[in-house]
Structure 1
Amino acid sequence: MTTTAETSELLNLRSVVLSNLQYQHYWTDIKLLDTQADLDENAPTNPLSRPMIYGRPPEQLYSSEPSSSSSSSALSSTTTPTTKSSSSERPPADMEYVLPVHLTEKLSLRAWASVFDNLPTPSGGDDANKKRIVVAVVSGDSTVVYYIMHDGIVKPRQN
């Protein structure tokens, strides 16, 4: 169990990351996650091991499978200016889980496993059994650096 001071610190970290996602990276549909019921309405109201964020980035984050549309749009943007209509044709980005951590934290494998165990398994697609989170590492000066972390081994993308 976490103490009140630890919980307060984790909530402060989450507010720094939330502000960064909203105002610098323009994420939308953001939801704060504190309990398992926040993840799934049928789940018990047990607290999560750590407070998290769930939201939609403005563009799709890294995908393990290359898409032909992204390579063709990158090629076309070098020859002709990008128009607003071509960007609106893209499907919306997938919702992502974000885990705020402090730069000085040392998380054990058990802590990481607990975070991934609480996440619902994604449905549909080739990545149906793969879970991933965006880890938001916050430094002492409130700089935030983002990493994508997968549960298990993921085959590297072939370009």
Structure 2
Amino acid sequence: MTTAETSDLLNLRSVVLSNLQHQHYWTDIKLLDTQVDIDENTQNDPLPRPMIYGRPPEQLYNPEPASSTNEASSSEKPPADKEYVLPVHLTEKLTLRTWASVFDNLPTPSGAAEGGEGGGDAKKKRIVVAVVSGDSTVVYYIMHDGIVKPRQN
């Protein structure tokens, strides 16, 4: 990756970071660079692209159905899980190899290995893709690693 490409990706990440902080009120945000991660003991290889790791104000879409008894017993919602965010530009064409590399090299959050954050999985199986257009509009999609069964209502 050239210096110009790296600079473009860092600028793209700063647009998404500003959007998450000021318009969507995310907290506990950490910037993940290609060589840096949350905990040095948990990263396999360098990330292929700069990313963001943080906590949304509410839980993002969960494909598992919520139990009605759980909702009725507690009026207070648990804090949302932290999410990985991958900034991409609308004109980019990412290959399957790039997507696989992103998922394979995500750092394991401390606490996820013990069944804390992340629902007991050692690795998150999804990322939030932040697609940035030329006018700095950001649209978010959830991308899963593998096939996810649709939610049953």
- Range of TM-score over shorter length: 0.7 to 0.9
Gaps of 5+ in 2: none
Moved more, 62-71 or 3-12: 62-71
Match status 1:106 vs 2:100: no
Q: Distance in 2 between matches of 1:71 and 1:44?
A: 35
Q: TM-score, normalised by structure 1?
A: 0.81
Percent identity over paired residues: 83
Instruction: Supply the AA of the counterpart residue of 1:137.
Output: V
In structure 2, the residue matched to 1:118 is 105
The answer as to 2:15 corresponding to 1:16 is yes
Task: State the partner residue of 2:41.
Answer: 42
Q: Which has the higher helix share?
A: 1
2:83 — aligned with what?
96
Q: Contact 1:37 / 1:43 at 8 angstroms: preserved in 2?
A: no
Among 136, 145, 159, the alignment partner of 2:139 is: 145
Secondary structure of the corresponding residue to residue 40 of structure 2? coil
Q: Which residue of 1 aligns with 2:150?
A: 156
Q: Is the 8 A contact 2:16 2:87 kept in 1?
A: yes
For 1:136, the equivalent position in structure 2 comes to 130
Instruction: Tell me, in whole angstroms, the C-alpha distance in 1 between the residues paired with 2:43 and 2:56.
Output: 28
- Residues 69 and 61 of structure 1: CA distance in aligned 2, closer, same or farther (over 3 Å): farther
CA–CA distance in 2 between the matches of 1:108 and 1:119?
A: 17
Give the deviation of 1:38 after TM superposition: 1.2
Correspondence list, 1:48-63, <5 A = 48-63=47-62
- Amino acid of the residue matched to residue 144 of structure 2? H
Q: Distance in 2 between matches of 1:146 and 1:113?
A: 19
Which amino acid letter does the alignment assign opposite residue 104 of structure 2? D
TM-score by length of 2: 0.84
Q: In the aligned structure 2, how far is the partner of 1:68 from the partner of 1:45? A: 36
Secondary structure of 1:135's match? strand
Deviates more, 1:24-33 or 1:122-131: 122-131
What SS does the corresponding residue of 2:64 show, helix, strand or coil?
coil
Distance 1:137 1:61 in 2: 17
Aligned positions, number:
145
Look up the match of 1:27: 26
The answer (yes or no) to whether the contact 1:36–1:118 under 8 Å persists in 2 is no
The Cα RMSD (Å) is: 2.6
Q: Highest Rg: 1 or 2?
A: 1
